[in-house]
Structure 1
Amino acid sequence: MAGISLAVKLTVLPAGITSLVDRVGVIIWVISLTIVAAKIASGIIKSYSDTLKTTTPITSLTTNVVNIIVFIIGFLILMNLLGISITPIITALGIGGLAVALALQDTLSNLFAGIHTIMSKQVKVGDYVQMDSGQEGYVIDIGWRTTRIKTLPNNTVIIPNVKLSQAIVTNYYVPSKELAVLVQVGVHYNSDLEKVEKIT
């Protein structure tokens, strides 16, 4: 791309074409750098989580939020480099955002429910949970709209984040993975009760 830009500058071309090529070059560079930055940011967060073995594993929701933030920053930088004022854009986004929020009320509810689930650490990827509706299994992902649970028969249950946040959930991995199971044992009437007490 740098070679094309240099060739255009060394070639006698109308000012309009030169300006257009420069703008296209800026757009390509910013988009490329933004994509690379998004991948690097996601990689750093995943590496940081794996290295420290944090209690909040990386989910698709976390990765998507990071990518959206990076792309928004890249878009604003691009507008600034092209000489386009971002103030009207931000104002339009604020007004349009209200309309979008009303139209996507259910989706946004699931999004914020998913964020709350991740931040509260009450349910994490890898936990074995059971809902009051009967579904149980391992949490394999918390997305921007749904949470996926893998059941023991190797099926996947997809639950809206709002439903998960409102449900009564038993997390068998909290506070620890150790599980106590109460087992009733029958004792014969002629058994030595003192010996039974010592054994139990």
Structure 2
Amino acid sequence: MDQLPPIVLTALGYVQQAWDIAKEWLLSPAAWSQFGLLIAAYILAVLAYRAIAPRLRKVLTPDDSNASVFAQARRFVLMFLPLLLPLLAYGFTGIGEQVTRALFGSGAVIAFGKRVFLFLAARILVQQIITDGFLKLLGKYILLPVMALYAFGLLDTVQAQLTAMTVSLGNISFSVMAIVRGLIAGSILFWLGQWSNGHSSNYIGKQEELRPSIRQLASKAVEFSIFGLCFLLLMNIMGINLSALAVLGGAIGVGLGFGLQKIASNFISGVILLLEGQATVGDYVELDGGEAGTIVKMTARATFLETFDGRWIVVPNEDFITTRVVNYSDQGSSNRYEANFSVSYDTDINKVPALVQAAVSKHPDVLDAPEGPDCELRGFGDSGIDFCLEFWVNGIDDGKNKYTSQVLFIIWNTLKENNIEIPYPHRVVEFKGDFPK
């Protein structure tokens, strides 16, 4: 036996200890009485559950059409109704434990049964109640193993072993227990941060009285605050002194001063954009460098533009502050466009403006304010007389393919209906000498 590895000897010691406890329970009258109390407590819990659960379900179940906060709270409480049976058994077993300890001075068996009922409650929680995939994964691989160790009375032993084991990273050492605790707490805090951030963003997004840029800035501020608080809580849970992060903060400051200037500049520019609201999601903008598109997303570092052909352009936020930006939308303001056309020199040009303006004004998207359709004479070309129709619409002409195209169709049909010729180039070719064969 002495030649076996230490881990095997330790395992055999636990097996021998479990066998001794089992023999003591099987041969002890006090243990048999505790087994009887466990069975009685479970039967009593089943009877109480059958009497209480239907009434609770009837009280807590709201109408399907009821969407009030109180109704949602009732549905939330109703989800935990399957826990009632193991918790009732746990409570009745606790009463039986007090009785056995008072009569026999021992309650190890019934205490074990009480912990088993608590494990069953945790198992029901993970399998039947929790629906979120991430929380179900944590419950399956963290909560249930911990509750199993607690049920068999090994949790304190395992915790002591993990605390004694250390991992060193340079001059810093951590116990394995601190790392495990940090991973568990970090996972829970990460999920909680994601959940609270999603709900707060939805709430802020519904505040229609706020400008879109202010809503987005508030969502970002809440997001940074939530995850910053989660980070501080995680450091505290892991036992890391926050004053030790001062050196790291200084290093980050030096990095911002030298290598991360552009990142810091884009981040600050993004905050300014959200505060001023000079460009926000949904606006159609054109930058000084020629980039143009609809703003579909704004992040802390860059703004995403979607062009009319479906491509996305990533523009650093700094470009919106340091260069000229043309905003065609400005949260839904009207825009003016032009449609150029020509007529023949044989045309009475005095009739053209009135005919074209009257026809284009009937278009449902063409506005009367700030100005109705205006047909202007632009010049005398080589082949015809040049006109330009100016018109206002509430929207963006996607590359002269939407409103301008529709207006040009109206102009064409109007000129044809009034027998006005649209000219095309004429050329006179002169040959010197004999006509070519």
TM-score using structure 2 length: 0.38
Shift of 1:55: 2.8
1:85 shift after superposition: 2.0
CA distance in 1 between partners of 2:277 and 2:222 (Å): 19
Aligned to 2:239: 83
Report what 1:152 is aligned to: 308
**Alpha-carbon offset, residue 188 of structure 1:** 4.5
Residue 18 of structure 1: how far off its partner (Å): 5.0
**Is 1:41 aligned to residue 196 of structure 2?**
yes
- Judge which range, 4-13 or 46-55, deviates more: 4-13
- What SS does structure 1 have at the residue aligned with 2:263? helix
- Counterpart residue number, 2:153: 10
Alignment match, 1:117 = 273
Alignment partner, residue 135 of structure 1: 291
For 2:260, the equivalent position in structure 1 comes to 104
Q: Structure 1: 5+ residue runs without aligned partners? A: none
The answer on whether the counterparts of 1:130 and 1:170 sit within 8 Å (CA) in structure 2 is yes
Report whether the alignment pairs 1:51 with 2:195.
no
Name the structure 2 match of 1:74.
Answer: 230
How large is the RMSD of aligned CA atoms in angstroms? 3.7
Q: Which residue of 2 aligns with 1:178?
A: 334
1:27 is aligned with what amino acid? G
Aligned to 2:424: none
Once the 2 structures are TM-superposed, how far is the Cα of residue 175 of structure 1 from its aligned partner? Answer: 5.6
The structural deviation recorded for 1:121 is: 0.9
CA distance in 2, matches of 1:26, 1:174: 51
Question: More relative contact order in 1 or in 2 (CA 8 Å, sep 6+)?
Answer: 1
| CA offset digits 1:35-56 (Å, max 9, x no partner) | 1222123312331244224432
Cα distance change, pair 100–188 in 1 and its aligned pair in 2 (3 A):
same
Whole-angstrom CA distance in 1 between matches of 2:234 and 2:304? 37
For 2:253 and 2:301, locate their aligned partners in 1 and report how far apart those are by CA, in whole Å: 19
Aligned-residue sequence identity (percent) comes to 20
Deviation of residue 75 (structure 1)? 2.5
Q: Which residue of 1 aligns with 2:322?
A: 166
Q: Which runs of 5+ in 2 are unaligned?
A: 1-141, 164-174, 359-373, 375-437
Aligned residues between the structures = 196
Deviates more, 1:15-24 or 1:141-150: 15-24
User: What residue is the counterpart of 1:31 in the other structure?
Assistant: 186
> What is the deviation of 1:21?
6.6
- Measured in 2, the distance between the counterparts of 1:111 and 1:33 equals 29
Alpha-carbon distance in 1 for matches of 2:271, 2:322 = 14
TM-score normalized with structure 1 length: 0.75
Question: 1-side partners of 2:206 and 2:185: how far apart?
Answer: 31
User: Cα 1:185–1:85, aligned 2, differ >3 Å: closer, same or farther?
Assistant: same
CA–CA separation in structure 2 for the residues paired with 1:49 and 1:185: 49
Which deviations, in whole Å up to 9, do the C-alpha atoms of 1:100-133 show, x marking residues without a partner? 2122111111111112112211100111112232
Please tell me the residue identity of whatever aligns with 2:302.
T
Once residues 25 and 156 of structure 1 are traced to their aligned partners in structure 2, the CA distance between those partners, rounded to angstroms, is 42
Given that residues 204 and 218 in structure 2 are in contact (C-alpha distance below 8 angstroms), is that contact kept between their aligned partners in structure 1? no
